[in-house]
Amino acid sequence: MRVHGKKLFPFLIVLFSNLLLSQQTVTGKIIDDSGESLSAVTIVNISSDKKIYSNSEGMFSIEANPGDELRFVKEDFRRVSKRVLTDGSNPQLLITLYQIPKDVGEVKIVKKLTGDLEQDSRIVAKVDKGEQVRQAVGLPQPVGKMREKPAEVKSVLLPILLGNLNVQGVYDLVSGKARKQKRQYRYDDLQEHIAWVRNRISNDYFIQAGIPADKISEFIEFSFLIKPQVRTYVKARNLSGVMLRMEETVPLFLERLKSSHR
């Protein structure tokens, strides 16, 4: 055992050294098709799920192993994937992202994307015409939702102890009506939040991310589950926050789709 241990120890040292040495830092710069530096580009190492962003000069630095795939993502630009360290060399990368052409219809003056997600989300988001009308005429916003409140165990049992019987509340609990109401309300809220996102972000945004058109609603629901903050931002009507957090769930959802097709 001692002999084998002495032989095994140097082998482990060599093995771990090779693993450490194989991982390298890949650097590069990202530009658009006009040669301008692109900031706030999301760079994801698909193999390790590590993620970083390009700086104001379009520069980035990320760890990778030979053969790892890096994915470069920016809203309104075509995604680019690049395998690195494939031939043993590690030159600085120059990545060019091409903007997605859009049919704008009538000519309008549009602000250039800044790389600031909060500002850019206001540029690419769909216009909520209903909200514009409400603001223009000064219509008050409804407080809460006009729907029947499900019976709660505490609100029904406590009055009974005090000598007051809530017949309807008892019936709703015993019959299961209250439970069905809660389940229905959760479903309704989910569909409302999914619709809120879809009404404000065009399908092209999701399709360019690799998500099939018929899976967009499923992806949004998936992002709610994986990143609860996405739904928190929906409730706060913060579109830029929604888009930022959803972006983090794209690789996971695409991997899930790939696994389901095997």
**How confident is the model over 109-148, as pLDDT tens digits?**
445 545 455 555 555 555 555 555 555 444 444 445 566 6
The 3-class SS string of 50-85 reads: EEEECCCCCEEEEEECCCCEEEEECCCECCEEEECC
Are 66 and 86 spatial neighbours (Cβ–Cβ below 8 Å)?
Answer: yes
The encoded tokens of residue 141 equal: 């916003």
Residues 198-218: what's their mean pLDDT?
90
pLDDT level of residue 196 (50, 70, 90 thresholds): very high
Q: Tokens 């019959």 correspond to what residue?
A: 175
Identify the CATH assignment for 25-101 out of 2.60.40.10, 2.40.50.140, 2.60.40.1120, 3.40.50.620: 2.60.40.1120
Please report, as a single letter, which amino acid is at residue 113.
L
Domain range annotation of the chain = 25-101, 103-126+200-262
Burial 143-174, CB ≥16 within 10 A → b, else e: eeeeeeebbeeeebeeeeeeeeebeebeebbe
pLDDT in tens, 47-96: 888 889 999 999 999 999 998 999 999 988 998 999 998 888 888 999 99
pLDDT confidence of residue 29: 96
Per-residue pLDDT at 139: 46
Which regions of the chain does DSSP assign to beta strands (E)?
24-32, 42-45, 50-53, 59-64, 69-73, 80-83, 93-97
> What pLDDT shows up at residue 12?
47
User: Which SS3 state, helix, strand or coil, does residue 117 take?
Assistant: helix
C-beta separation of 72 from 79 below 8 A: yes
**Tokens representing 29?**
């710069």
Contacts of 12 (CB under 8 A, 6+ apart): none
Per-residue model confidence (pLDDT) at position 162: 59
Q: Which amino acid is at 114?
A: T
3-class DSSP state of 97: strand
Place of tokens 């998936």: 222
Q: Give the span between the Cα atoms of 77 and 100, in whole angstroms.
A: 5
User: Cα dist. 131→193, 195, 196, 231 in Å?
Assistant: 16, 15, 12, 20
**Pairwise CA distance, residues 245 & 226, whole Å:** 10
132 or 249, which is more confident: 249
Residues with Cβ < 8 Å from 223, sequence gap 6 or more?
230, 245, 246, 249, 253
Residues 158-181, mean pLDDT to the nearest whole number: 67
